[in-house]
Amino acid sequence: MTDASARALLRRFGQFADQFASCFNRRAQRDAASQYLDALFTDSERKSMQAMHGRLGDPGSYEALQHFITDSPWDAERMWARLRALVPVRRGVLALDDTSFPKQGRHSAGVKRQYCGALGKTANCQVAVSTVLLDDQLAWPLTFELYLPQDWATDAARRAQAGIPDTVRFREKWRMALAHIRRVLKADFQLTAVLADADYGSNALFRRGLERLGLRYGVAIRGSLTMWTPDAPRARPAGEIAAALPERAWHQVTWGTGTKGDLAARFTALRIRPAKSRGDRWLLCERARTTDERKFYLLNLDVTATLPEMVALVRGRWPIEQQYRELKDELGIDHFEGRSYRGWAHHTVLTAVAFTFLQLERRRAPQERRPTLPVVRGWVREIMAVLYVISNRKLLSLMASFQRNPPLRR
């Protein structure tokens, strides 16, 4: 990166960060927010408070930065609203996602033994409900909210210890998801479809909520979900219906390109009526090429929808899953080590802000030459490293001293 490019990138970052100044009531809060964003871009492997603090050139007091994240009364949702307003894409597919945060102990807000997607098993973790807009292969986080299990919601002592606001109550995740979608629609986003995993898609009330909002969807379902086919006298599970289909009903469809080549599987689709639902839907069945593993989806697309169109929709989650890994690996959205509800909310929204800036930088390049998110973060990290050296006068003085009087060599 040339000096001119580095200066231009740094200027764009400053202009972007200034857009959030109105989210804070005091200058100290604004300075701390800028400092925290800077720290998220550093080369610290863990984005914990202590690790990031040590990488800053002029970090000030560790206690002050910690207070800003865990205790300072600024509104994370206000910052989310500002972030949604700055997303340059206003139309696309919305994906719902459960993001899990493995934890030790029982005192972090909302933590309990529950299914942990990050580990692929039941474990001690926090879970967040989030929405991401997908367009042109770029993901834009729009909402992020910690799920509060019912046993937490009714435990006054644990609530007080974790600083959980009185307004935060237990809600099923599918209800949280519908509230998030309404929030996104209110922010003037046009949703071409909604994607969700089987925990949401298998819930008839959730699907009905999407339909009442006038939204198309392509949601994963469990193979045990029962439905009616035109030629059957009884409702049967999706897995049983798929198993009875002849081999000629399955067609190979390529839906993307991975690091090892084309991403493809065998698919088939048929019109069905889900139990506890009115009207027909599409049942899309997927079978892996090398194993007999099967996945199932429900779609409320028009009867004229083609198999490639349905596959392209439900498999649109893949870029989101890939970029969510980068949100964790590159910026450490799951690295917050505090226990408070407010601290978790503050860390996640600031991480989403940093992620959005990197996406904006990626979007500046044509899609065929678009740099990866780690590459863009590397550019920012290099600039921050230079600023670290420039701002650390003691280090500069020491370097100058070594140049004048080099240490003795063995």
Tens of pLDDT along 148-164?
999 999 999 999 999 99
pLDDT, tens digit, 9 for 90 and up, residues 251-280:
999 988 777 788 899 999 999 999 988 899
Min mean pLDDT across 31-45, 110-124, 179-193, 346-360 is at 31-45
CA distance 2 to 379: 11
Whether the CB-CB separation of 147 and 110 falls below 8 Å is answered with: yes
Same domain, 335 and 381: no
Same domain, 121 and 259: yes
Q: What residue type is 223 in one-letter code? A: G
Same domain, 112 and 179: yes
Same domain, 357 and 375: no
Q: What is the mean pLDDT of the chain?
A: 87
Helix orientation angle between 3-18 and 341-363, rounded to the nearest 10 degrees: 140
pLDDT over 50 at 408, yes or no? no
Domain coverage including residue 338:
75-370
Residue 71, CA atoms < 13 Å, CB-side half-sphere: 6
Same domain, 36 and 11: yes
Q: What is the pLDDT of residue 53?
A: 59
Q: What is the pLDDT of residue 397?
A: 58
pLDDT, tens digit, 9 for 90 and up, residues 290-343:
888 899 999 999 999 999 999 999 998 777 777 777 877 778 888 788 899 999
Segment 89-100 shows an average pLDDT of 93
Torsional class of 403: left (φ above 0), alpha (ψ -120 to 50), beta (otherwise): alpha
Write down how long the chain is: 410
CA distance 38 to 62: 15
Confidence band for 366, pLDDT divided at 50, 70 and 90: confident
Same domain, 151 and 190: yes
**CATH classification of the domain holding 222:** 3.90.350.10
- Residue 3 sits at φ, ψ, to 5 deg, of -60, -40
Residue 187: how many other CB atoms lie within 10 Å: 15
In the chain, pLDDT over 90 holds for what percent of residues?
62
Confidence band for 344, pLDDT divided at 50, 70 and 90: very high
Whether the CB-CB separation of 279 and 221 falls below 8 Å is answered with: no
Q: What is the pLDDT of residue 385?
A: 66
- Mention every residue, 6+ apart, whose C-beta is less than 8 A from residue 263: 254, 255, 256, 257, 315, 318
Confidence band for 17, pLDDT divided at 50, 70 and 90: very high
